[in-house]
Amino acid sequence: MSAIARIDLHRVSVRMPRPWVPDAPDLHLVRVEVEDADGRRGSGFSWTPTIGASAVTALLSDDIRAFALGRDADPESLWPDLWAHLHEAGGGGVTTIAMAGLDLALWDLRARDRGLGLPALLGRRHERLPVYGSGVNLHYSEDELANQVRRWIDRGLGAVKIKVGRPSLAEDIDRVALTRELIGPDRGLMIDANQRWDLDRSTAAVDALRSFDPAWIEEPLRADDTIGFRELARRIDVPIALGENLHTVHRFREAIEGGYAGVLQPNIIRVGGITPFRAIAALAAEADVPLAPHLLPDLSAQVAVCLDAACWVEDVEDAGFDALGLLTTPSPVRIEGAWAHVDDVHGLGLDLTTTPQLKESP
């Protein structure tokens, strides 16, 4: 491929209609535009829902740009060299989040150059994927939670996920019981503790909540508590889901070989883009561990339809790029009822605006 000749950055922030936490109402992206020596262009983005956008922008503007300019625009050959170059600043976190913006832009350039959309470029395996409604609003009252669950039911979703980790376990039990009563016995129910518990609290909570038949318990412990996860997996029989806060293929391999990964949830941006996500997905497939990409359905569904095994698409209410007014053209991912459909477009099909216009929430 041709060499990278130019990298441009644009910060984009948008106020969320349903904030995930009251004190962080904005979502942040860094749009990354690349141009190669032949004048071909590609567009990607880095993403951080609450903090770190300034650090991500600085890393892209300084170290990543300086390293990438003049190098081949092939994302798969650039990624490992760039990661090794940046490793002194950290093997993951801000480092890989920033790397994702360039990686996505280079995949977009490759797909556009070949006149293809991302699924056609990677090799589509599925026409549609099942969607679950995801609630990230632990601050909701029981009435607000019930209304959210009813909206998911009205949409016909086959599964829902709610947050747990309220101050008392009794509150969590009441909220999970309410959700199970509303959705009935046939819909899937996932619960997400968002790293709020220690080992003993996780053990007690899962023991108390297992009667509601949860499909998984997500991030009950701090994401880097390897020893704790190993012990928790020995104590409980509910699958543990994790991965949104793991940043490298090495950490995912550690979770698999440690025997505590019931479901893997890589976030395409946090792991560093499409290139490492595909390596993680291959690792999960080889180990026969289910994959459920974390958030960003406008992007993750495009890659997920190219995996051999069908997987869930996570849809957080009013958090899609279309709903947030972040796109100049419709998203290639359409969520209709219980299913995510991916349309054929050129490149990633995610042309970000610098002036978001929120759509009215139902």
User: How does pLDDT run across 25-41, given as a tens digit for each residue?
Assistant: 888 999 999 999 999 99
- Which domains occur in the chain, in start order? 4-113 (3.30.390.10), 119-342 (3.20.20.120)
pLDDT digits (tens, 9 = 90+) for 257-301: 999 999 999 999 999 999 999 999 999 999 999 999 999 999 999
Q: 128-159 in b/e burial notation, b at 16+ Cβ within 10 A?
A: bbbbbbbbbbbebeeeebbebbeebeeeebbb
Is 50 in contact with 21 (CB distance < 8 Å)?
Answer: yes
In the prediction, which pLDDT does 357 show? 63
Which structure tokens are listed for 19? 């904030």
Residue 161 annotated to the active site: no
The pLDDT, as a whole number, for residue 24 is 76
CA 113/CA 40 separation, integer angstroms: 7
Q: Would you state the structure tokens that stand for residue 34, as one six-digit string?
A: 């690349």
294 is catalytic: yes
Altogether, the residues listed in the chain come to a count of 362
Listed residue (5, 123, 97) closest to 44, CA to CA: 97
The residue among 110, 121, 62, 104 whose CA lies nearest residue 86 is 62
Which amino acid is it at 220? P
- From the candidates 28, 161, 163, 247, give the one annotated as an active-site residue: 163
pTM of the predicted protein model = 0.95
pLDDT the model gives residue 358: 54
Beta strand 217-218 pairing with 240-242: parallel
Instruction: Decide: residue 362, CB within 10 A, 0-12 exposed, 13-18 middle, 19+ buried.
Output: exposed
Which of the residues in the chain have pLDDT under 70? 357-362
DSSP secondary structure letters along 28-78: EEEEEEEEETTS-EEEEEEEESSS-HHHHHHHIIIIIHHHHTTSB--HHHH
Catalytic residue among 294, 341, 346, 359: 294
Which pLDDT does position 362 carry in this prediction? 46
Q: What are residue 31's DSSP bridge partners?
A: 10, 45
Beta-strand (E) ranges in 68-213?
128-134, 159-163, 188-192
Alpha-carbon span 326 to 345, nearest angstrom:
17
